[in-house]
Amino acid sequence: MQMRWEKTEQRDLTYSRWHRQFTGEYRFIDIDHVEYCPYCNEPLALIETARDVGQTYKCAEITTLIAKKIGVFSLIVLYKVNESGEIINFRVKYTNPNGYDYLNYSPMDYLKLLKKLHDLHNKNKCKKYCGGGDPFVSCGTNDLSNVEDFM
């Protein structure tokens, strides 16, 4: 498996600064991450991320609204790093479906959560994965009602 790296390790804020001068008239957000299926490219979850500094709030209203409209999970993922810059803990809050407090995950457990998202999609919905590439074979839909399975 080939890893994909950041190209510059820097975030270009040029467009953001330009657009924010019009915030009274026009609004935008940047969605931090879209977890998607490598077989059919369907989105699985919209994820807002931030470094964990003990905060209790991260704005995710628009991301959650979009996730509800397209029928995928939305998460807030806060990550804590050690002195070496390695992630040592994740705090995850589901905003779609909502009603869950932040849950703590080790890096390995968070990876397992992502795997479960993919497994659910592959088992229930992915046309290329479960249908052998036949675009007319559908295995069902993502069932967001069993979010406890991912905790």
Residue 20 predicted with pLDDT over 60: yes
- Find out whether 34 and 42 touch, Cβ atoms under 8 Å: no
pLDDT of residue 95: 93
Both tokens assigned to 151: 């905790």
What is the Cα–Cα distance from 31 to 14, expressed in whole angstroms?
Answer: 16
Name the nearest CA neighbour of 33 among 4, 63, 10: 63
The per-residue pLDDT for 60 is 93
State which H helix or E strand residue 61 sits in.
helix 61-70
pLDDT higher than threshold 90 for residue 123: no
Q: Is the pTM of this model over 0.75?
A: yes
pLDDT of residue 61: 93
How much of the chain, in percent, has pLDDT values that exceed 90? 50
3-state secondary structure of 132: coil
**The pLDDT of residue 44 is above 80:** yes
pLDDT tens string 94-117:
999 876 789 999 999 999 999 999
User: Which residue did the predictor score with more confidence, 125 or 52?
Assistant: 52
44 vs 30, residue with greater confidence: 44
Confidence grade of residue 130 (pLDDT, cut at 50, 70, 90): low
**What is the number of other CB atoms lying within 10 angstroms of the CB of residue 125?**
20
Mean pLDDT of 86-98: 94
Calculate ∠ Cα 91-100-95, nearest 5°. Answer: 80
